[in-house]
């Protein structure tokens, strides 16, 4: 307990300096969607990690892509190794008019540090770096081995991650467990941990006619790619149900322990509506605990964009050459991306469209889940409960996705997500992390390290 109090006091005394570093990181754009500032951010992160005594280098996959910032801390007396995963890239800013401040100004308003990446993920991965700094300043030898793995492509689906992991297996092969540090507080501010992630399959579907753009007067004779696209979407889903053959049959059932975790999460339909800025729920039967079970345990489909022709300026009296949409599946345990893709192709072939169609995979990741009874889970739970002073919720898996399966396919180690910041505010305008959340993140990282040393 004496060490814990010393850690808390030092974090409190040095917090202003830690905030300066966080603001410096937020002010540096690092948008993976277009590459803005990525390489400069990677270099800044490497320099900061080296400064606090983490042996750090930049890894680049042979096929290109943004660098991974890889850092290591060695303890010769302990062979236990924790892999800490995070990402230094940020989501696109969206509509600038929705921001109250410049997204990269890192303004401090009341107790909020506002800016793109403040919580997702700069405030969280920096918590670990500052935790190392805290322990070293107190003269505490880091009691375990740590591998820091911070990538720059998470927000675009980690397209080069599998390559870079396979090319550098030897650098991560000693890991016994993996922690993912990201915003993990619900809309009430209660902290939670997650034991897995949903899978994700992102597709681009295009219908194209053979003769290019055609005059609209030929509409009685020629197929319209827009109509074919809409017909295809309706065959796949009505927005609630997914009609692919066998889509729901392979879903892994929740264990009794996982169902118990869901029962202990105190959410209801009013909480989620409030968290979503008042958006009404599309299911009429979502009441009480059914909200959280549906959110975490059900697969889903989203059409996130449709593109064809031009409405501004309006282009009239034509049948467009092509029509495209982006479709994203969120998959649960035992559903496989390749099986869903193949089912889509079979269904589209049955439409007998006069237009040619193309179905392209943009990104994919498989669902993962760590056993709730694993010792690593218990240690992370204990560290979280100690940090926040109450029993944190346990989600069998998150509704979001992660490239966790790439690590599992190589290492087959338990993986848990935790951290600080409001999870439901990720990717929204005016993203923020509070000063107290950032401080708790540093404290949580130190508690995880000390707990794993036992």
Which domains are assigned to the chain? 2-195+370-452 (3.40.630.10), 199-251+299-365 (3.30.70.360)
State phi, psi for 266 to the nearest 5 degrees. -90, 70
State phi, psi for 11 to the nearest 5 degrees. -60, -45
313 vs 382, residue with greater confidence: 382
Residue with tokens 């100004």: 105
**89 in Cβ contact with 153 (< 8 Å):** yes
Give residue 287's pLDDT: 57
Q: In the chain, what percentage of residues exceed pLDDT 70? A: 97
Give the mean model confidence (pLDDT) for residues 158-172.
94
List Cβ neighbours of 372 (8 Å cut-off, separation of 6 or more).
Answer: 195, 255, 257, 258, 261, 394, 396
List Cβ neighbours of 321 (8 Å cut-off, separation of 6 or more).
Answer: 208, 209, 212, 213, 225
**131 in Cβ contact with 449 (< 8 Å):** yes
Is the pLDDT at 270 greater than 80? The verdict is no
Is the pLDDT at 131 greater than 80? The verdict is yes
Is the pLDDT at 14 greater than 70? The verdict is yes
How many Cα neighbours within 13 Å face the side chain of 283?
16
Give the strand pairing for 192-194 and 214-215. unpaired
Least confident span in 8-22, 102-116, 143-157, 267-281: 267-281
Give the mean model confidence (pLDDT) for residues 304-332.
93
Side by side, the strands of the sheet bearing 432-434 are 107-109, 112-114, 432-434
Single pTM value for the model = 0.91
Give the mean model confidence (pLDDT) for residues 295-308.
95
């Amino acid at each position: 307990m004496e060490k814990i109090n010393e850690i808390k006091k030092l974090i409190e005394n040095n917090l202003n300096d830690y905030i300066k570093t966080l603001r410096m990181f937020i002010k540096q754009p690092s948008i993976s969607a277009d590459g803005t500032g990525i390489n400069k951010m990677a270099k800044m992160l490497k320099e900061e990690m080296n400064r606090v005594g983490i042996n750090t280098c930049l890894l680049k996959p042979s096929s290109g892509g943004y660098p991974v910032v890889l850092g290591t801390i060695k303890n010769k007396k302990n062979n236990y190794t924790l892999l800490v995963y995070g990402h230094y890239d940020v989501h696109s800013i969206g509509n600038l008019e929705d921001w109250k401040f410049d997204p990269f100004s890192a303004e401090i308003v009341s107790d909020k540090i506002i800016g793109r990446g403040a919580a997702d993920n700069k405030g969280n991965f920096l918590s670990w770096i500052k935790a190392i700094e805290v322990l070293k300043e107190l003269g505490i030898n880091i009691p375990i081995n740590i591998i820091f793995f911070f990538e720059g492509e998470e927000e675009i689906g980690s397209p080069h991650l599998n390559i870079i992991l396979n090319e550098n297996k030897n650098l991560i092969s000693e890991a016994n467990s993996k922690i993912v540090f990201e915003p993990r507080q619900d809309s009430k501010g209660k902290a939670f941990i997650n034991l897995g992630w949903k899978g994700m399959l992102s597709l681009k579907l295009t219908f194209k006619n053979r003769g290019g753009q055609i005059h609209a007067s030929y509409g009685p004779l020629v197929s319209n790619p827009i109509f074919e696209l809409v017909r295809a979407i309706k065959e796949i889903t009505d927005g609630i149900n997914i009609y692919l053959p066998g889509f729901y049959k392979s879903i892994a059932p929740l264990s009794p322990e996982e169902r118990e975790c869901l029962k202990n999460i105190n959410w209801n339909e009013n909480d989620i509506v409030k968290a979503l800025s008042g958006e009404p729920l599309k299911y009429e039967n979502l009441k009480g605990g059914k909200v959280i079970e549906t959110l975490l345990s059900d697969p889903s489909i989203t059409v996130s964009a449709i593109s064809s022709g031009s409405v501004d300026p309006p282009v009239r009296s034509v049948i467009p050459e092509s029509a495209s949409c982006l479709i994203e599946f969120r998959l649960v345990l035992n559903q496989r991306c390749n099986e869903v893709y193949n089912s889509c192709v079979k269904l589209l072939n049955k439409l007998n469209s006069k237009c040619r169609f193309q179905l392209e995979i943009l990104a994919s990741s498989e669902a993962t889940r760590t056993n709730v009874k694993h010792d690593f889970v218990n240690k992370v739970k204990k560290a979280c409960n100690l940090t926040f002073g109450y029993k944190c919720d346990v989600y069998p898996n998150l509704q979001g996705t992660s490239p966790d399966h790439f690590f599992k396919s190589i290492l087959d180690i338990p993986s848990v997500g935790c951290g600080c910041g409001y999870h439901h505010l990720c990717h929204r305008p005016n993203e923020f992390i509070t000063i107290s959340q950032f401080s708790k993140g540093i404290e949580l990282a130190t508690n995880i390290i000390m707990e794993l040393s036992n």
